[in-house]
Structure 1
Amino acid sequence: MSELEAIVHKATSSKAVPPKRKHVRSIVLECYNENSSRGFFMELFKRPLDSNDIVCYKALITIHKVVQEGPKNALIEVNNRIQWFEHLRDHWNRHDVKGYGGLISEYCTMMIDKIRFHLAHPEYDGALSLENYSKTHRPDDVDIDKGLQACSHFMDLLDAIFRLHNTVVSATPYNDCKTSAFIPLVLDSYAIYIFIVHYLTVLVDKVDTMEVIEFAIQRFYTQYQTLRNFYLNANAITSVSSVIAVPNLPPDPPKFIRKKREQPKPKPQQQISPPPIKKELPPQEVIPVPVPTPVFIRQTVPVVYGNPYQQQQDMWQQQQLLQQQQQQEALLQQQRQQQLLQQQLLQQQQQQQQQQLMQQQLQQQQAQLSPQSSQQWVTFGDAQRQRSTSTPAQLEKKEAQLDQDKEAQKSQASSTTDSQGKTRVITKIITKQVSNTTEIQALKARIEELERLLQEEKDKNASLLLKLSEREALINELNHARKRLQDVSEANDSYTNEVVKQNDQLRDQLIALRDYTEKQRVNRLEREFNLAQKALNSYQSSFENPNNLGNQESTHALVIEDLQGHMSQANLLAQLCQQSDSDNEMDIFNAVSQVSDSLKNLFYDAKGASRLILDNGLQSKFLDSARKIGFLTGNLFESIRLQGGQCQDDEDKQRLLQNMNALKSGVAQFDDIIKQADKSAVTSPSSKDLDGFDLDDIAEKELLAAAKIIEDAANTLLAAKQKRPQKKEGDMPDVQEAILEAAMAITSATSTLVQAATLAQRERVEKGRASGPGGPLYRKDPTWSEGLISAAKSVAASTKALVDTANKAASGVEIQGGTEEALIANSKQVTAATSQLVAACKSKSDVNSPSQHKLTNAAKHVSNATALLVAAAKAVAAKVASEEEIDFEKLSVTAFKVKEMEQQMSILRLEKELETARKGLSVIRKTQYTE
């Protein structure tokens, strides 16, 4: 299972949970790496979209997010799959009566509408971003027809989103899997809202009349409240609001107002006649009347919508304003009454002044008349009423003189008559003056009363002014409190915005930290399991190595104990993987290490215990069962690695259970084979073969024949060396000669080795060890079934092949596959054959015997000679490389690029050949093991 397949499997699991953000992000990153979504769809089509409604619904959500966040090619490739969406919609309309079928059908309809929108408007990206659109287009340069068409299509797509939202809301019962579709829907709807507002704002100033755009504006206003309710519902869902910031639209939609107005048609100017010249009136004396100063009260408009406390506060403020207006009206009325009283008082004062002037005039007239009438008694028309005045002494003297004068007596009568007329006039004036005095006193009393009333009104006015000042102070305090409340509210809003911003940053950091932690955990898991897999491969290679004889003291009972220990460690690992705790990572690593170590012990003991099984078929089954245990353990490790160390869903648990059951079955089969081997064990097997021939005699003959073959090969090398021309003094050493020398050293060492093996075989036969138990068998192979016989043949054949290859290399004959590779391969074959021969000799001989020491030394000489031959082969390759070395500084740019491409092609070709060779070798080995 590839990495992308595992991620798609986890994102579209059958569990009713929303797709995890990290899985969707990994899919998007994979699409960006490939610059395509084909791989994603290929893995998605493997999922049961036609049979599992939850998997299909989560797949649609994942596709929607890939379209929004993925590369542009992903949107283009999704646009080409409109028929697939229609088929999926028709399928779930026909086959689903409950569950997610209706949601899938409506989601497919919405995706089809989105695809058609992008086909009609390819200039918009999958996320409908105004910022990305501004990079390639001018947002303010909008054609009227295209802008109205784009707004209409945007609103149609918004209606499709609303229909899907209503379907999700009506699909009860609710769960996070159903509502997870709100995340891409909120992003698309808000992007559409931004585009519509931008287009209508630009078009409202471009159209000639508002009638052209009025229909679009009214449709937008109709959709606005539905969009706001959608955001309120999405914000109330924790699984949505915790992932994205849901927009919060105001209650009132934005207003689209024209910035430039239509200029009215100019009207004809009328000739205005000059106004008549007014005559200046003489200035009139105006009595100053105090005018009350108006009080201006600042009204505030509530900002917060739907706040009961604010509404109550506004109502109280209106009542206060009404009371203040009433008080102002009462104050104005009192001031008007005061003005009327003052006017009356001024009139009375004027009348009093006029009366005082009249009284002064009367007093002056009376002063003029008093000298003539003060000397006599005055009679007022009646004899009883008389008035007398005192007469000074001078007048009495004058009267005496006048009495004496006769002429004065005559004129006294006429003067008396005149004074009587004047006295009547004065009497009238005095009577009038008395009546004026009474009026003056009445006016004074009226003035005092008016002054008293005026003082009362002033006191009332002062009290009202005091109350008004108190009211103004309260209003000012209220305004200050409101201002402080507004400042506090703004500070709270700014603090809230800052907290929200910090929360968003912390959320992003948390998500990034989670992703980093998950990535590190996955990397550690991959590293640990890779190490475990390498260890398994190493154990299997060691198990397959013919030179590895295993634990020679092992028994079947020890192998059974190893099986039990290995199975218990595997059960512990499975239990740790099924736990939901994310802190048991180290426990899982330790359990994997324990399972690997137990498998190593099992291989080591099983390889050694196989020597106790004499039946070739049963021994082959025994070893195959051990290999099967290693193979099943590798499958267990692979399944745990793919699921991330822990079981994510029921499918992971089912897969883990299947691997554990297979491992238990393999352990049980291995146990049965061990019991069968115990039953068929033979204590003293015969040293004769089926035809009755003595194998020890045949082994000695074959060793002598191998020695003869090696001696003939050495003579061939000597003859080839003698044919080469003699080297002169001062010549450089020849590489072909070095190859021949190394090959002769190998033949000499192998000849010594075969002779030592012959002596060891004779010593064993002489000591009677040839009749002992047979050597351990590894697999059903003719080489190991014949023991020393096949080992001797192998040494002879490999040595002869090495000599042939060395002769060809020294003669300059081209060897298929390369001279260096052929020499190294033959040298390794000789080393393996000698190791096999040494092992066969040591299996039934005394380790401390002289023949064994000689055999060991001969094997070391073979190894050293082989190393010399490998060095000579590498020298050949170095010489060829030096001859073919190219001076890159003299090459042109084109030639340099050509050489670079040739080297890359050579590397690719060699890597391909290496992979093919490895596969072929693996097939050959598997075929040998299964025979």
Structure 2
Amino acid sequence: MSYGGRETDNTMSQKWVRWGFIESIRKAMSADESAPKQKHVRACIIYTWDFKTGASFWLGLKGLPNLGIDDIVTWKAVVTIHKVIRGGHPNVLKEAIQQMSFIEALSRTGALGCGYGTLIRAYVSFLLAKLDYHRLHPDFNATFDYKEYISLRRIDDPNEGYETIDDMLKLLERIDDLQRQIFATFRPASNNECRIAALIPLVEESYSVYTFAKSMLTAMHQRVGAVEVLVPLRERFNAAHGHLYNYYFEASNLKYITSIISVPKLPFDPPQFYEIDAGDLPQQRRKEPEAEPESPKPRDERLVDLFEETSNNIQDPWIAQTAALQEQQRQQQVAWEQEQARLAQEQQRMQMMTAEQERQWRETQNQQAAQQAASRVFQLDQELALLRDQTSRDAMTINHLTSRASQLESQVTQLSLARQETESRESYARSLEEQLAQIRQKYEALAKLYASLRKEHLNLLQVVKEMRETEKKAVEEAKKEAENAKAEARAASTIVEEANRAKYLAQSDLNRLQQTHDSEIAILRTQLEQTQRQLGDVAASKGAEVAGVVERYEREKSELERTLVERARDLDASRRRVEVAEGEAAALKRQREEEGAALTMGMDQTMNALVELQKASKENEQSLVGQLDKLQVEHAERMNRVLDSILDSCCRKVDEAGEELESQAMSGNTTATAEYTLTVLDKVTQASADFGESYLKLLQGVGEQTDVIANADDFAHELAQLLHNAKGITRLAEDSALESILSTSRSVAGSAKSFFDGVKSRVLETVPTGDRPSTVTSAQARFSNTIPAFTHAVEALVPKEVSKVTEGGGDIADTVETELHNAAKAIEEAATRISRLMGEPIDGATATEKQVNASILEATMAITGAIANLIRAATASQAEIVAYGRGGSTKTAFYKKNNRWTEGLVSAAKAVAFATNLLVDAADGVVKGTRKMEELVVAATEVSAATTQLLAASRVKGVANSKSQDKLEAAAVAVREATKLLVKAARDAAKRSAEERAVAEVSSMTANQIRIAEMEQQVKILELERDLTSARQKLAEMRRKAYHSDEPSAENGTARN
């Protein structure tokens, strides 16, 4: 038990160490723009030495979420990788060479715009070069901290040593390029700590490479006699020495670096390799001489001997010359230090001069600023006097505008509140749409899961079926084998019976022959006795005859005895044959018995295997059925949750529509009519019935939840449209009718929400299974009971003229077609009129006015063409709707059955024709100068509203996936786009004309006249605002009266709402 406890403790401690290591990686590569902390980097290095691998370090790096996305994290990761490669276990270097593709991928990522992208690519390029160097030269470790015999081995072959030093100098050049880029990206407003952190490992790396290259180059100069061959390497090394000198000087001025490491100090001049004494070379390892001098020395010992000979051959003149050179270098160093001190004093003097010049410049700037301030003060005094005069003149205006400003402020406050409420509703609507999209995605995923589970279930059923067929075939084969065995056994028994029968026959023959033989012997004996008696009788009388008879009898006797012997011999042969047949029969019987036993054993094994197979198949089938039942239960629970979520969404949609109904800032569908609202009510009634029916089918087990979800969504959507249109038709109602519409609308919305809440799965779970259908039916009935009151309230707004369309005794189909034909005819006449106007010249018009009039007429012509196309598309869509919906009934019966839709369609067609004529009249008046541009804009707005009404009327009964409906939608879009262009052209023309008039009027006014005119314009604005409010109230009242008026208009027999 204690051993197991120690194992658990070790495992837990390893987990804690690994967890701490992952935390160190995460903290070292944080997203803060600061240097990676030394303790976290050190923890990563120690972890590699503890476990002798860096696999966890690479896994931890790849698991960072922002690596490759956040460039600060990527930069810290690159710096940390460099430090861990240098300070970590030697295996980390080998693993880093394997991770070169991962390191290279870091250079292609990171793009958050903090200025690290170029640095990351440069640092990654350096790391790849370093790893490639170690791959080509595997004897070097990550810190280039080799023992001297390793470095000497590198220059055993001059060519190989030359290439090695060349590669090291290339690595130094890459380090120099990288540190230059880092210094170039320093930002003056930041401490640049994150960037400076990369300079520390670069200082250590560069000094290690520099020291190693210096040692190898020194050894090369001692090894190679011709120093001219090494001139390229020496020049590159001297250049690298100068770069490192500057780099270390700049690094030593950064406190962050000096607080962590000691920056190396290089001499100002590079070393002179051909003047270095052999004693200056690094200490070499020496080996004891071998016991057998005849054997060849190893390569390292040959090199050591080579340097020993070189050291022994140095003479005193060389030593003296070296001492002189050292003294000269010391003097040069003293002179360089004196020069540095002089340069420091000169730099201090220059700084003092610069400070003095900066002080003088500041005094000059202050004097200039004082002069400018004085002039500015004088100018401000003058402006202040003018402002005081202006203030006194504006006092009266301020007093007049104070009250108006307070009113406007209150209006602005109300508008801002309404705008905020609208924005909040829009944001809430967007969030609901996102939630609905997520729910739909979840539903689609669940549907896919259900399909996959169903497919797996079918596959498992197929597998079970195949197993049963296999089992049946095995049983049939076993039965066949058993029957074959039984047939063979019967054949064997038949053979045995035949053998027994032959044996019996042979025994019978033998017995019969024995009996015959015995009877014949008895007869012969009897005859012999009789003959002897007869001989005794006649012996006396017939002596001679007796001798002959005796002789004959003796001969017969011998013959009989011979015959008896032959018979006995035949009997023995028959016995032997019988015995042989009995042996063969016994052997055959034993063989058949063995075969029968083998077949019986095989059949038993087959039956046992078959029983095991049936048992396993049954257990597997039961397991699969249990899993399938479990999956079906889980799927049903998921689908119930999805269904409840959809029903919650439907309730929220109803609540939003109810809030819009109650909101004073929302006006609903401003183009809705009472007859169109009643048509939408029919769709709501049908949608509620479909929803209830689909839910009942689901409870009865014959329906799908997808149908319930689709019908619930349709029901909620249609109900929201109904409330939106109910809000819109309140503009047509008096105060008493208005309250009736709102109260019945609230009742419909509340009962619909109760319908949705009452059929949720979490509610139905509390109801007994048998009572659930009645619960759904009751909820649907409660909703249906609120419809008549709403219908009555809306029908009160339907004009009597519209009701006459379906209540009259004429043919409704002819009436509808006549109205559509009249609308098309009116539009054709309008187009002809516009074409005539485009050809008429306008006397006295300027070129600008002619251009404006031409653009207005062209836009009006485009609108009439689009409306004509709309009427044709509406006629085709109406014909398709009637053909699709009437079935075997007549058109008149269809129109009467859908009387509300028919009334809306006729009203919309009349509205389009009326709006088109109004637009043409307005365009004619604007061109001739008898009407204003504002009238043209109003007429275009009426056209857009009538188009929307006609499109809505067609949508109510539109056929799914109908090309005619698609054409109608496209035609409506074209009408709206053309209307927008006309409105834009009219407003631009009005704006241009107003600006020209304003410029012309203001250019001829004096300053005093401008002030007076400004006051007049402000008074006019107040009057216009008052008139605008009064006009809006009057317009609302006129629309109510016009909608309910029985008087047909002069144009088309109806009025537009």
Same fold (TM over 0.5): no
TM-score by length of 2: 0.26
- In our comparison, the structure showing a higher alpha carbon Rg is 1
Higher helix share: 2
TM-score by length of 1: 0.29
